[in-house]
Amino acid sequence: SLAGVDLLAEIDRLRKERNAVILAHYYQKPEIQDLADFVGDSLDLSRKAADTDADVIAFCGVRFMAETAKVLSPEKIVVLPDMDAGCSLEDSCPPDQFAAFRAQHPDHIALTYINCSVEVKALSDIIVTSSSAEKILSQIPHDQKIIFGPDKHLGGYINRKMGRDMLLWPGVCIVHEAFSETELLKLKAQHPDAPVAAHPECPPHVIDHADYVGSTSGILAFAETFPGDTLIVATEPHIIHQMEKAVPHKRFIGAPGADGNCNCNICPYMALNTIEKLYVALRDLEPRIEIEEGMRLKAKTSLDRMLSMAS
Ligand code: 13P
Ligand code: SF4
């Protein structure tokens, strides 16, 4: 039992003893964000994982993020506090079906969102994150045919913004899919001067009302600079913790779901990680990410293209 264990002190002791770095995504619980060595978006976290000289990476995020860390830093032990921390986008895109889709479109390259399994990364040509997708796509000629998966909303947003016609895999993020346009319009009516910042995983009926669209780090930067005193935030609400720390005098309101509040937009996968499970992961060095070497090298090729094209 963990009763009587000072978890925060033990996590600190273990991270030194194991030479571990704790990486956390902005969608993690505030108490995890606050003890992490580094908090960031998917691209920042991949770069940190590739660069760190720690022996252990404790990844407080979801499985595809921890897998990416292992692909880029194979000599390190990578632990994920809860191995069930998946992602609806990953679930929407089984590798065998993705391979069949590619086979049906042999003249297309596969530009793939990082929110997918290591197997799907291995079947892809170039990985992108929401913060790097536009920069990477702008380096690919307009006459190149492209498959984009698994997020149809991110792919559709980029298609519209950049005048492209990438073929889209029909996956969605269940968190961003849950925002309600009706409730958002009601909230906007109550705060007529408040801009809306939205993640590109949102469906078009939410994006259409956004004043700023970008990755979590982009939304955070917008929150630190927008003129005005109130911001409506259409992404997973745990990011509001960083906004309140950075700009304590401003007000941040999570965009609502159909029930009128933002609690239904908490990512259930991200929420599986807890301080208790992080402590156990650092103590036992389990659960650990392991990837077969041939698979890792194929996934590394598409991830390395992302890192070089995004820089
Ligand atoms: P970014 O932090 O890269 O914007 O990704 C958002 C997300 O949904 C991660 O699961
Ligand atoms: Fe996946 Fe959406 Fe959760 Fe991110 S927020 S991990 S995209 S389900």
CATH of the domain at 242: 3.40.50.10800
- Assigned domain for 190 exists: yes
* Complex ipTM value: 0.98
Cα of 4 from ligand 1 centre, angstroms = 35
Is the same domain home to 73 and 146? no
Q: Is 213 in the pocket of ligand 2 (CB under 6 A)?
A: no
pLDDT at 264 over 90: no
Q: How many whole angstroms separate alpha carbon 14 and alpha carbon 76?
A: 16
Q: Which atom of ligand 2 is nearest to the CA of 201?
A: 7
pTM of the model: 0.97
- Assigned domain for 96 exists: yes
Average pLDDT over residues 237-241: 97
Is the same domain home to 19 and 44? yes
- Assigned domain for 73 exists: yes
Looking up tokens 């007000």, which residue turns up? 251
Mutating to test ligand 2, I would choose from 269, 272, 273 the residue with most ligand atoms within 8 A of its C-beta, which is 269
Average pLDDT over residues 150-170: 98
Q: How many whole angstroms separate alpha carbon 108 and alpha carbon 146?
A: 5
Task: Confirm or deny that 60 is annotated as ligand binding.
Answer: no
pLDDT of residue 258: 92
Cα 68 off chain centre by: 11
pLDDT at 2 over 90: no
Cα of 200 from ligand 1 centre, angstroms = 9
pLDDT of residue 125: 98
Number of structural domains found in the chain: 3
Q: How many whole angstroms separate alpha carbon 297 and alpha carbon 71?
A: 8
Say if CB 265 and CB 286 are below 8 A apart: no
Per-residue pLDDT reduced to its tens digit, 70-104: 999 999 999 999 999 999 999 999 999 999 999 99
- Assigned domain for 1 exists: no
pLDDT of residue 82: 98
- Assigned domain for 2 exists: no
Q: Is the N-terminal amide bond of 74 cis, ω within 30° of 0?
A: no
Is the same domain home to 22 and 97? no
pLDDT at 200 over 90: yes
Q: Which atom of ligand 1 is nearest to the CA of 199?
A: 4
Give me 8's structure tokens.
């925060």
Q: How many whole angstroms separate alpha carbon 194 and alpha carbon 223?
A: 11
Per-residue pLDDT reduced to its tens digit, 23-43: 999 999 999 999 999 999 999
Per-residue pLDDT reduced to its tens digit, 274-309: 999 999 999 999 999 999 999 999 999 999 999 999
Q: How confident is the model at residue 212 (pLDDT cuts 50, 70, 90)?
A: very high
Cα of 130 from ligand 1 centre, angstroms = 7
Q: Is 255 in the pocket of ligand 2 (CB under 6 A)?
A: no
Is the same domain home to 136 and 149? yes
Is the same domain home to 252 and 304? no
Instruction: Supply the range of the domain harboring residue 109.
Output: 89-173+299-310
